[in-house]
A and B are shown apart, each in its own frame.
Chain A
Amino acid sequence: MTGAEPGTALQITGVCKRHGEVEALVDVSLTVAAGECVALVGESGSGKTTLLRCINRLLDPDSGTITVDGRDTRSVNPVTLRRSIGYVPQDGGILPHWTVARNVALVPVLCEMSDTAGRAVRALESVGFDAASIGNRWPHELSGGQRQRVAMARALAAGQRLLLLDEPFGALDAITRSELQRQLKRIRESTRPTTVLVTHDLREALFLADRVAVLREGRIEQVADGATLRRAPATEYVARLLAHADIAL
């Protein structure tokens, strides 16, 4: 066991990761408290998605440690680990040959839980669907926004306490995106899963996250809440990023 502080859901310590010649992550450390939402913000290639994938061991760091609820992830079978962590990719990743209900029941079925159908229904309702009408539909019949909500329901159906969101709203139109952002905020307020959100949209990060981690070229420039970032940006890059976001607002 590492020396995780009480209430710490996720602790990342000194993580480095290379992709061939490229240093994707350099000595990254980050602590996320239970129930907290931290957004990873940065340009493409800044390492934010790499860091997210290290958490559920889709990638393994070259060095450094990651603990979830105090357990070193390297001591857990990656398949078991992933089943305990909710995950929503940018495109939803809904299995096209399964109905909505079967998709949402994926992890409960994998974990051989009881009442998988009931869990799927409750998960669909938690993201605002009428489970009876949408459960038997096929993924291709859904809109992009509906698919992302189904993906969200799937990520929560097994009662996961840690949620990884990889640009979950990046491919949606502006109106749908803002609707889903509000939806996610409601879910977070009701069940408070620990959440790591990857986004390139600083406004989205400021709206949804308790704290924002700004990544640049594999390093964390600053981790802070929105007010601190505005008041005391740690680097010129962070200041510029905020300026752009404010102009856009």
Chain B
Amino acid sequence: MIDFLRSRLSRATISLVLLCGSIVLPTVSPAQAAANRPVVVASKPFGESFILAELFAQILEHRGFVVDRRPGLGATEVAFSAVRSGVVDVYPEYTGTGLLAVLHEPPERDPETVFARVSREFMARYAVRWLPPLGFENTYAIAVRRETARKYSLATLSDLARAAPSLSAGLTADFIERRDGLPGLKSAYGMSFGSVRPLGQAVKYQALATGAVDVIDGYSTDGFIARYDLVVLRDDKRFFPPYEAAALVSQRLQRDQPGAIAALTELSDRLDVGTMRKLNARLEVSGEPVESIARSELQALGLVGANRASGASAAVQAQGSFASYMWAHRGPLASAVVRHLLLVAVALLAGILVAIPLGLWLDYAGRAAEPVIRAIGLLQTIPSIALLAFMVPLIGIGVWPALVALWLYSLYPIVRSTYSGVRDADPNAVHAARALGMTPGQILRQVRLPLAAPTLLSGIRTAAVIAVGTATLAAFIGAGGLGEPIATGLALADTRLIMSGALPAAALALAVDALLGIVERATTPAPLRHAAAERQRDRLQR
């Protein structure tokens, strides 16, 4: 895992540098740049997608391409719009997902029909190409605990339909909504659960194992099915559509780097379902790094020679204490912290530069102020993950959309505190300043802003703490930071990995809050601290 993380972080840094370089120094001709551009390989945030993407990445590297890895992009919506807009060149997708979630067409049973359909439609509508399938299907698998199966004599989904009213289901939000998910199960099998709870990918298996729910949706190639000794119920009416895994390739790659397409196609029809299940188990159950899984698999398939970097391979992480784990991973964690802080600092700085003038302008504009502030406040109510997903079709993936999203979130607290700080600045002092001949500019600079400073700083402090928290979600759109171990850990149900991101993030939030608290006190002159305390006392007495 450590190698996996480190390579991702360093590559993310490199790609950031390249990105900045390409903006600042456009000296290479466009055609040259297109041909030399790294192939951007992405994945969705779950184990199998990580492994497949790493297989893509390594075979490309072996065939001489430079690769930029962007694992764990939000979900289908984020990953697909990224490949469609050309920000990402290739990621592993499933034909059934393409048919239902992207094309919004009814389920279809025959795998070849589905593949033909999505191939034709994706090319015609989005100029995105499906490479020939990799050789296995990963369809939905409805799983129960062994004891539940025994108690209700469950072997098939038809059996489950009978027992469903007395069972509680924990299903992914995706599955609850999709036509080939719960609604389809209802009409095909007459399935009606006693209760249905939406559960995240990461906690599903634990929830089932601990008895919090009785039924979950999984994937047929999941390594966890073996780990928790679960029973997968047979789809006796063949309801679930085929989900053949295949590489989904951007128009840019097809046009500029046909060699990369050829390299990726070498993997077509080489992975069967048994192989995939084993690879998933190595990742999800044994915790082997994705990089080493992919390397040994490519060697086993005879696609690459066995000579490269075998010394570092297949080292399964020793199960030490959490502290020693953190210590062993201090390098990548430190760069994640730095990157996290950079995201927050840049977004916050941009927020300050826009929000303070905006707050001052709103004070000047008078009646427009409240509606504008309310509108900015509405931004705050958009769930972070939704805002990030919304950014992808507009700005792509990576650092920029994350910065824009964090910047948007920083606006409200700063605009609000600037506006109310300046507006509510001691009205008697402001009145006297005006009556004695200060100009509006002098009043603003010498009276209202200094008096508003404590309020303003506390707004900035709030914005900073929000940004530190929200930035953990930026990993879902490939921006890196402390969210990366969290996202990966969630995808792999690896608590230690989650904590290795979550604890530093929490500590960072506390540290930022404390630091800005000190700044706030240091920059507030003593008489204002006194005045604030006095106002507070007045309020309490009233």
Contact = CB atoms under 8 A, between A and B. Distances in A.
Given A79-B439, A91-B428, A140-B534, A96 B433 contact: no
B436 A154 contact: yes
Given A89-B431, A91-B428, A96-B426, A140 B436 contact: no
A144 B484 CA distance: 59
A92 interface: yes
A80 B437 contact: yes
B432 A97 contact: no
Contacts of A92: 428, 432
Contacts of A140: 527, 530-531, 534
Contacts of B438: 79, 106, 110
Interface string A146-173: 0000010011000000001000000000
B527 A58 contact: no
A164 B431 CA distance: 14
Nearest to B438: A110
Nearest to A88: B432
A154 B438 CA distance: 13
Contacts of B437: 79-84, 107, 110
A110 B442 contact: yes
A110 B525 CA distance: 22
Interface string B108-121: 00000000000000
11 contacts: A58-B435, A89-B428, A92-B432, A95-B447, A96-B429, A96-B527, A97-B450, A106-B433, A110-B437, A140-B531, A140-B534
A139 interface: yes
B170 to A, nearest CB: 58
Contacts of A129: none
Interface string B421-452: 00000101101111111110010000100110
A198 interface: no
A197 B432 CA distance: 16
A92 B433 CA distance: 11
B262 interface: no
B24 interface: no
B435 A82 contact: yes
A13 B427 CA distance: 31
Interface string B523-542: 00111101100100000000
Shortest Cβ-Cβ A-B pairs, 8 listed: A93-B432, A83-B437, A82-B437, A138-B527, A87-B435, A91-B428, A140-B530, A93-B428
A56 interface: yes
A83 B428 CA distance: 18
A138 B526 contact: yes
Contact of A96 (B434, B435, B442, B531): B531
Contacts of B429: 93-96
A58 B433 CA distance: 11
Interface string B509-530: 0000000000000000111101
Contacts of A82: 434-437
B451 A93 contact: no
B435 A56 contact: yes
Interface string A126-145: 00000000000011100000
B457 to A, nearest CB: 14
Contacts of A138: 526-527, 530
Given A107-B436, A154-B436, 5 more contacts: A82-B435, A82-B436, A95-B432, A96-B426, A140-B530
B530 A93 contact: no
Contacts of B442: 110
Nearest to B526: A138
Contacts of B447: 95, 97
Contact of B528 (A84, A93, A97, A155): A97
Nearest to A82: B437
Interface string A50-91: 000000101000000000000000000001111110010101
Contacts of B428: 89, 91-93
Most chain A C-beta atoms within 10 Å of own C-beta, residue among B435, B438, B439, B525: B435
A139 B526 CA distance: 11
Interface in A99-116: 106-107, 110
B432 A96 contact: no
Nearest to B530: A140
A82 B438 CA distance: 8
Nearest to B430: A93
A68 to B, nearest CB: 14
A31 B98 CA distance: 88
A95 to B, nearest CB: 5
A137 to B, nearest CB: 10
A96 B429 CA distance: 7
A80 B439 CA distance: 9
A42 B85 CA distance: 74
Interface string A2-18: 00000000000000000
A200 to B, nearest CB: 19
A84 B436 CA distance: 8
A243 B434 CA distance: 38
A163 B46 CA distance: 77
Contact of B435 (A84, A89, A94, A95): A89
A56 B439 CA distance: 14
B449 to A, nearest CB: 10
A140 B531 CA distance: 7
A166 to B, nearest CB: 9
A80 to B, nearest CB: 7
A93 B435 contact: yes
B241 to A, nearest CB: 69
Contacts of A155: 436
A79 B450 CA distance: 21
Nearest to B531: A96
Nearest to B527: A138
Contacts of A96: 426, 429, 451, 527-528, 531
A83 B436 contact: yes
B149 to A, nearest CB: 73
A139 B527 CA distance: 8
B431 to A, nearest CB: 6
Contacts of B431: 89, 93
Contacts of B530: 138, 140
Most chain A C-beta atoms within 10 Å of own C-beta, residue among B428, B429, B525: B429
B528 A151 contact: no
Contacts of B531: 96, 140
B432 A87 contact: yes
Contacts of A106: 433, 436, 438
A79 B436 CA distance: 8
Interface in B441-480: 442, 447, 450-451
